[in-house]
């Protein structure tokens, strides 16, 4: 059942993330103007890779949650927030400081990761 949850979460997170970037890209464009990197339409291999990346995150999340006894819905959501602070948020603030990534871009990516982790937590917490 966990494997099914991971697959469902990966597909759902991909869809949610796609919608999120459709909504936030114009905001980023207004903020950055010519400094915005044109990401273009993703190639099929990038879509597949993103689904696999999200499945890996989902599997790792499921394993950590199971080891910590946090596969219930409230526990999984708490774990998602803690992991978001510990990893994507820390990494993205580092990219602002050390790689000169615009804070607007990092904030958008941080929001995407928060949504992904919460969605994974919700799916896994509900199926458990």
Q: pLDDT tens for the chain, 128 residues: list them.
A: 889 999 999 999 999 999 999 999 999 989 988 888 788 888 999 999 999 999 999 999 999 999 999 999 999 999 999 999 999 999 999 999 999 999 999 999 999 999 999 999 999 999 98
What DSSP character marks residue 42? P
What DSSP character marks residue 63? H
Q: Is the entire prediction scored with pTM above 0.75?
A: yes
> Can you tell me whether residue 22 is helix, strand or coil?
helix
As a dihedral over the C-alpha atoms of residue 71, residue 12, residue 51, residue 18, rounded to 10 degrees, the angle is: -130
pLDDT tens-place string over residues 35-68: 887 888 889 999 999 999 999 999 999 999 999 9
Whether residue 72 contacts residue 126, with contact meaning beta carbons closer than 8 Å, is answered with no
* CA atoms of 87 and 118, how far apart (whole Å): 14
User: Of the candidates 45, 58, 44, 54, which has an alpha carbon nearest to the alpha carbon of residue 15?
Assistant: 54
The 3-state secondary structure of 91-125 reads HHHHHHHHHCCCHHHHHHHHHHHHHHHHHHHHHHH
CA distances from 19 to 24, 46, 71, 98, 112 (A): 9, 16, 27, 29, 10
With vertex at residue 14, the alpha carbon angle to CA 68 and CA 86, rounded to the nearest 5 degrees, is: 40
Domains of the chain, residue spans: 2-127
């Amino acid at each position: 059942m966990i494997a099914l949850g991971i697959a469902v979460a990966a597909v759902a997170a991909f869809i949610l993330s796609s919608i999120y970037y459709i909504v936030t890209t114009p905001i980023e464009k207004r903020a950055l103007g010519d400094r915005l990197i044109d990401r273009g339409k993703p190639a099929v291999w990038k879509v597949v890779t993103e689904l696999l990346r999200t499945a890996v995150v989902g599997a790792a999340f499921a394993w950590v949650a199971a080891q910590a006894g946090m596969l219930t819905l409230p526990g999984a959501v708490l774990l998602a927030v803690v992991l978001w602070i510990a990893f994507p948020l820390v990494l993205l603030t580092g990219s602002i400081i050390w790689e000169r990534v615009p804070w607007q871009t990092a904030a958008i990516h941080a929001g995407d990761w928060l949504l992904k982790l919460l969605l994974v937590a919700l799916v896994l917490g509900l199926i458990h």
